Amino acid sequence: MFKSYLTLALRHLRRRIGFALINVFGLALGMAVCMLILLFAGDEFSYDRYHENADRIYRVVMDRASGQAVIHWARTPSPLGPVLMEGLPEVEQAVRVRKNPRTDLVQYADRAFYEPRFYFADAHVFDVFSFELVRGDPATALQDPQSVVLTEAMARKYFGEADPIGKVLTLENNVAYTVTGLLADVSSTSHFVFDFLASFESLGALLGEERIRS
């Protein structure tokens, strides 16, 4: 029975080979596109899901009027974090994260590189986000104003195989930061990927106190 069906199918294909090829090609193309869409959607929905408290983390954004247009910014004034903590009991913790708009010059001894992913964060950043700290104490790593944690890739870049803890990096030939922690490289499925995470309290020395109060 199966042999008869197979013979009929092959005979039908030979008679209409062009039509059959179009159908097979269309089916294959449709399946390939569906798989790509599923892979893309899966990747997009995986962003920031590795955080233990992912379902309880919210990003505060700001709509700013500019003439007739409204600009949507994933940026808010620095004082907003503490104000939310004081004014809303529903807010368990607020973390401010900031990146300099420019590329920063980072130096250790004779090694100096311009780094585009030098970020600043409040000391309790590890209470909210599940960034893996390989070395150092997440509760105290960013408590001191001139402290910084860096990824394993950056540790190798600046210190080779030497222990980075306690070493001092200089930012913009001006501000010195002591390495207090070593991070596993941040997942690419994160809405912000950094190489350095310095104490938010040190921004005053870098930008001026008035700048970070606004």
SS (H, E, C) 38-107: HHHHHHHHCCCCCCCCHHHCCCCCEEEEECCEEEEECCCCCCHHHHHHHHCCCCCCCCCEEECCCCEEEE
Using CA atoms in the order 159, 161, 167, 170, what is the torsion angle rounded to 10 degrees?
10
pLDDT band at residue 209 under the 50/70/90 scheme: low
pLDDT at 15 over 80: no
Instruction: For the chain, give the mean pLDDT.
Output: 86
Report pLDDT for 62: 85
pLDDT at 214 over 60: no
